[in-house]
């Protein structure tokens, strides 16, 4: 089922109510059979999109339920294999930004701009990792007793 939120007088309210399902559904990505990327919100969303054929609104809400917080987290290091996913997230964020700008949602614009800046940093870090590869920390390894 695809829903056009423009038909609601308060689309942000619909989005909030709909996102309550996303809060629970993104945990599907913890299921061992569904792990694709290791990042459970994306794995749960991918399952809903590909296997369940969920609508785009639900897919995006599940994928991005904790995306802004995670993208901003300094502990998240994006695997270079996930650059395509970052591009999907950026496309969605830019779409949401355009809507927020059209509606005059200034607080939303500020948050989206912040997330987009962090996303650009994560993308650059992933690209750098893809060029350099793993770094040896010089840790000692046990000797073979033979």
Tokens 């609104």 sit at which residue? 57
pLDDT for residue 62: 74
**What confidence score (pLDDT) does residue 22 get?**
59
pLDDT tens digits, 37-57:
777 777 888 888 888 887 777
For 88-111, write each residue's pLDDT tens digit: 889 988 988 898 899 888 877 888
The token pair that represents 71 in the structure block: 């993208």
Q: Which residue has the higher pLDDT, 64 or 35?
A: 35
Whole-model pTM: value is 0.51
Angle between helices 83-103 and 56-64 (to 10 degrees): 110
Q: What pLDDT band is residue 6 in, cutting at 50, 70 and 90?
A: very low
């Amino acid at each position: 089922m695809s829903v056009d939120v423009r038909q609601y007088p308060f689309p942000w309210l619909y989005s909030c109510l709909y996102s309550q399902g996303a809060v629970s559904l993104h945990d599907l990505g913890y299921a061992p059979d569904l792990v694709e990327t290791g990042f459970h919100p994306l794995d749960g969303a991918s399952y809903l999109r590909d296997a369940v054929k969920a609508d785009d609104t639900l897919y995006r809400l599940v994928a991005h339920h904790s995306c802004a917080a995670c993208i901003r987290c300094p502990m998240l290091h994006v695997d270079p294999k996930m650059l395509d996913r970052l591009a999907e997230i950026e496309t969605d964020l830019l779409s949401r930004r355009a809507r927020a700008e059209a509606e005059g949602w200034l607080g939303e614009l500020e948050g989206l701009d912040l997330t987009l800046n962090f996303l650009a940093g994560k993308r650059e870090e992933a690209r750098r990792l893809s060029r350099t590869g793993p770094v040896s920390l010089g840790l000692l390894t046990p000797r073979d007793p033979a």
